[in-house]
């Protein structure tokens, strides 16, 4: 694929696209191509993807990098169009295989009755995503007793490379965000209730306002320490990293959750932070 890359950034392209929509699709047939995005401090592959309404997996695949790859300031990430992203995804499925295969030195495992990919992953200290990828399997694939599967070596990033695999999804203006599956289910039910019965939408304030990787939490904590960000917990101590917390976009949303949230297990738990609500607290 050799897209004819434009020099303007993706944000400008998005603005142009909106203008085109408002202008009655006058220019909607104009071929759009991937646009380079230069990473600025505080950004992650996830935040860049979310800002462009793409999944992290899509942008990672398009750039030939791992979904949990760390981007650094000044690095150029190509932001694909939706179509380009789909092509990239189709070409590398399962996405993690290429990255995981070289480190598959952990050995093999013969499946016994009642084992699952996730139970083997937990027992061997590797992420579900890595284990699935090492075997060319979907993370929810069923294991058959007696099958020999390969087990990649545990890595320092095993915990984070699971990233959003197996997580639940909630809608947001920044694109689809992630929560623990039970928390996501109850969030979506609560949101439906709020929307349908009270006319109030509930959504996270930004792309890192629901589930966060430890790296994203570290970035927010660093911003807080430098005086540039809102209060944030040190990495490893935030309920956002467990996928059971959401930072709300507006105080009216908190009012709704104070009214109806308890039926869904959602509530505010930090008195000084109206925006922070968590599940199962």
Q: Which of 37, 57, 276, 279 binds Zn ion (CB under 5 A)?
A: 276
**Residue positions counted in the chain:** 281
Mapped onto helix, strand or coil, the DSSP state of residue 276 is strand
| Cβ closest to Zn ion, residue 150 vs residue 233 | 233
Tokens of 165: 């695999």
- Binding segment for Zn ion (CB under 5 A), chosen from 19-27, 68-76, 178-186, 271-279, is 271-279
For the bound state, the minimum distance from the C-beta of residue 131 to Zn ion, rounded and expressed in Å, comes to: 31
- Binding segment for Zn ion (CB under 5 A), chosen from 55-63, 159-167, 195-203, 246-254, is 246-254
Residues 6+ apart with CB under 8 A from 13: 6, 32, 35
The owner of tokens 């899509």 is 58
The residue among 175, 212, 222, 141 whose CA lies nearest residue 14 is 175
| Cβ closest to Zn ion, residue 95 vs residue 202 | 202
Give the binding-site size for Zn ion (rule: CB under 5 A).
Answer: 2
Q: Which of 13, 49, 247, 249 binds Zn ion (CB under 5 A)?
A: 247
* CA–CA dist 17, 27 (Å, integer): 8
- Binding segment for Zn ion (CB under 5 A), chosen from 7-15, 98-106, 243-251, 256-264, is 243-251
| Cβ closest to Zn ion, residue 57 vs residue 276 | 276
User: Is position 241 an interface residue for Zn ion (rule: CB under 5 A)?
Assistant: no
For the bound state, the minimum distance from the C-beta of residue 118 to Zn ion, rounded and expressed in Å, comes to: 27
| Residue 223, φ and ψ in degrees, nearest 5 | -60, -45
| Cβ closest to Zn ion, residue 91 vs residue 236 | 236
| Cβ closest to Zn ion, residue 169 vs residue 212 | 212
* CA–CA dist 235, 131 (Å, integer): 25
| Cβ closest to Zn ion, residue 101 vs residue 230 | 230
How many angstroms separate the Cα of 188 from the Cα of each of 3, 53, 199, 252, 256?
Answer: 38, 19, 14, 17, 14
Residues 6+ apart with CB under 8 A from 102: none
Which residue is closest to Zn ion by CB?
276
For the bound state, the minimum distance from the C-beta of residue 139 to Zn ion, rounded and expressed in Å, comes to: 27
Q: 118 in the Ramachandran plot: left (φ > 0), alpha (ψ -120 to 50) or beta?
A: alpha
Contact 205, 249 (CB under 8 A): yes
| Cβ closest to Zn ion, residue 12 vs residue 230 | 230
Per CB under 5 A, residues contacting Zn ion are: 247, 276
């Amino acid at each position: 694929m050799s897209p004819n890359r434009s020099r303007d950034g993706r944000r400008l392209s998005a603005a142009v696209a909106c203008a085109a929509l408002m202008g009655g699709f006058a220019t909607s047939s104009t071929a759009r191509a991937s646009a380079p995005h230069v990473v600025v401090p505080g950004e992650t592959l996830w935040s860049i993807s979310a800002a462009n309404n793409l999944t992290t997996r899509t942008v990672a695949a398009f750039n030939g990098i791992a979904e949990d790859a760390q981007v650094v300031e000044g690095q150029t990430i190509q932001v694909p169009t939706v179509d380009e992203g789909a092509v990239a995804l189709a070409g590398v499925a399962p996405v993690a295989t290429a990255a995981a295969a070289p480190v598959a030195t952990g050995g093999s495992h013969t499946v016994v009755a009642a084992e699952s990919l996730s139970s083997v992953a937990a027992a061997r200290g590797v992420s579900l995503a890595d284990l699935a990828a090492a075997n060319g399997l979907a993370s929810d694939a069923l294991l058959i007793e007696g099958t020999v599967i390969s087990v990649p070596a545990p890595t320092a990033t095993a915990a984070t490379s699971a990233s959003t695999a197996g997580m639940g999804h909630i809608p947001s203006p920044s694109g689809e965000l992630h929560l623990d599956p039970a928390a996501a289910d109850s969030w979506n039910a609560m949101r439906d209730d709020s929307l349908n019965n009270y006319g109030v939408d509930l959504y996270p304030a930004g792309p890192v306002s629901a589930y966060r990787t430890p790296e994203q939490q570290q970035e927010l904590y660093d911003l807080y320490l430098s005086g540039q960000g809102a209060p944030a917990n040190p990495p490893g101590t935030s309920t956002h990293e467990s996928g059971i917390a959401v930072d709300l976009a507006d105080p009216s949303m908190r009012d709704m959750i104070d009214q109806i949230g308890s039926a869904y297990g959602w509530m505010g738990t930090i008195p000084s932070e109206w925006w922070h609500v968590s599940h199962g607290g």
